[in-house]
Every structure is written in C-alpha cells, then in structure tokens.
C-alpha cells in the first residue's frame, strides 16, 4: 500500500469507537470536497418512496446524510448504504412516534441519564428541524439546503452542531444530534432495518454479524476472523 495515502486507520478507529464524531469541517473533507457542488444523491433505490418524509424533507435527508458519512476510498457512505431509508422507516415505528418514552411535561434540560427531555417526538424533530434549516438557507443563500454546495452544507451542519442555528421552535444542536445518531445507527444496523445494505460498515470494522457459530475460532485468541459478515436474513459480504 502506498505510504502517500493510507486512510484506513482513522476511519476504522472512528467506527470502532461507535462513530463518536463525524468530521464535518474542511480539514476532514479536503479541498476537492469543499469545492464540489452538491450532486444528486446516489445509492438509494430509485423506486423507494418515503413513507414519512415529504419531497423537500427527503432531499434534505439525502444531502445531510451524504455529508455526515460520505463515500471515500475505504467504502460507501451513508446514502450509498440506504441510511435515509432506515431513518424514514424509523419514523413510522413507536420510536419515531415517541412511544418509547414518557412524553408529558415538564420538559427541562437534564442529563441524558434522566431520559428524553423534548416535547417533540423524533419525527416532529425532523419535520421542524428540516423546515427551520431550509428557511435559514433560503434567507441566506436563496436556496434549499439540498441545493447548496458541499462546503456550505458542511458549514451549516457544523453551525447546527454547535448550537449556532437555534430557532424558537427547536434548538439546532438537538436536531443535529438526532440526525447524527440516526445516521450512525442506520450505517451500522442490520440491513433488515433498511440501511447498511452491502454490510460494508460491518466488514470495515471486522464485525461478523449473525454467523451461525464460531466453534472453530474459540481457541484462536488474537487471530483475525477471516470470514465476512452475515446479516440476520443471511445476506453476505464475503
């Protein structure tokens, strides 16, 4: 392997640490990515019709997921792995409707250990957050988020992350954290849930998935497991 370009360790380590933080700034994208204009997102099945998101929301989701986990030399990104499909499907589950938490007031900023503290369900967070971000983009750039260049999209996501795009309806950081968490979940989840369609993220971090048994490897400590991952439905990445 050339010593000039060896990007595997940073991305592998970043995934093994449960994708603690997705780089958004210019330093992690490279000048070429910063100069690039936003292109139509690829990878999501052409026939897929969102069950929750409307067209404007879907375009935002495709563009944002593409910036959070872009494709690179190590493998496909979030959009290529149908992560937006995963997020859309989650919005129609009890999770998306807030059915997993106590959703009554008072709502006060608290430590995560004290539970969910927003009056908005995840699906309402997306609807409100996307509307507010697109409104900001149209005021500042006369374009929707999905129509901006990659550099502008990354700057806006960074501003969201740091609470610099708050609105009366929703704190920007709350929306960003929701989006980032669901993007990571979709990228690492079993394909049965909609994302990670080629098991690329599992292969990248060496996760074998739902293989039937590991009897032959029980007594082989510190040896790399050579077989590719298998999904719940027996989809394979050799």
Q: What is the pLDDT of residue 180?
A: 98
Q: Residue ranges of the alpha helices (H) in 69-199?
A: 83-90, 122-141, 150-161, 172-188
- Which of 129, 139, 220 shows the shortest CA–CA distance to 175? 129
Q: What's the mean pLDDT in 83-106?
A: 94
| pTM higher than 0.85 | no
Sequence-separated (6 or more) residues with CB below 8 Å from residue 84: 41, 44, 58, 61, 62, 65, 78, 186
How many domains does the chain fold into?
Answer: 1
Give the model's pLDDT for residue 22.
42
92-105 mean pLDDT: 92
pLDDT band at 63 (very low <50, low <70, confident <90, very high): very high
Question: Given pLDDT bands bounded at 50, 70 and 90, which one contains residue 103?
Answer: confident
Output the CA torsion sign for 143, 146, 152, 154. Answer: positive
Name the more confident of 116 and 10.
Answer: 116
Which residues constitute the domain of residue 120? 8-217
**Per-residue pLDDT reduced to its tens digit, 147-169:** 999 999 999 999 999 999 998 89
Mean pLDDT value of segment 165-182: 94
| pLDDT the model gives residue 113 | 80
pLDDT band at 217 (very low <50, low <70, confident <90, very high): confident
- pLDDT score for 16: 53
Within a domain: residue 223? no
Comparing 221 with 24, the larger pLDDT belongs to 221
Span of 27-31, 182-186, 232-236 with lowest mean pLDDT: 27-31
Kindly tell me if the per-residue pLDDT of 11 is higher than 60.
Answer: no
* pLDDT tens sequence across 66-81: 999 999 998 999 999 9
Share the mean pLDDT of the chain: 83
64 versus 104: which is more confidently predicted? 64
How many other C-beta atoms are found inside a 10 Å radius of the C-beta of residue 233? 9
Measured distance CA(36)–CA(176) in Å, rounded = 23
Query: pLDDT for 117-139, tens place per residue?
Result: 889 999 999 999 999 999 999 99
Min mean pLDDT across 170-174, 185-189, 220-224 is at 220-224
136: in domain: yes
Residue 80 resides in a domain: yes
The answer to whether position 167 is within a domain reads yes
């Amino acid at each position: 392997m050339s010593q000039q370009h060896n990007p595997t360790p940073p991305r592998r380590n970043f995934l093994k640490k449960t994708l603690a933080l997705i780089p958004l700034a210019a330093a992690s994208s490279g000048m070429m990515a910063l100069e690039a204009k936003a292109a139509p997102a690829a990878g999501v099945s052409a026939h897929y019709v969102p069950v929750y998101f409307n067209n404007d929301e879907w375009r935002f989701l495709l563009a944002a997921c593409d910036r959070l986990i872009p494709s690179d030399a190590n493998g496909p990104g979030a959009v290529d792995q149908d992560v937006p499909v995963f997020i859309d499907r989650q919005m129609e589950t009890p999770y998306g409707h807030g059915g997993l938490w106590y959703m009554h007031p008072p709502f006060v900023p608290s430590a995560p250990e004290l539970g969910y503290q927003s009056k908005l369900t995840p699906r309402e967070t997306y609807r409100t957050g996307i509307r507010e971000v697109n409104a900001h983009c149209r005021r500042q750039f006369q374009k929707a988020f999905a129509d901006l260049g990659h550099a502008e999209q990354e700057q806006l996501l960074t501003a969201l992350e740091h609470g610099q795009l708050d609105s009366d309806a929703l704190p920007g950081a709350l929306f960003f954290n929701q989006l980032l968490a669901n993007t990571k979940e979709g990228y690492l989840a079993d394909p049965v849930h909609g994302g990670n369609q080629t098991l690329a993220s599992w292969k990248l971090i060496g996760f074998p998935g739902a293989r039937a048994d590991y009897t032959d490897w029980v007594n082989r400590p510190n040896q790399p497991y050579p077989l590719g991952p298998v999904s719940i439905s027996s989809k394979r990445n050799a």
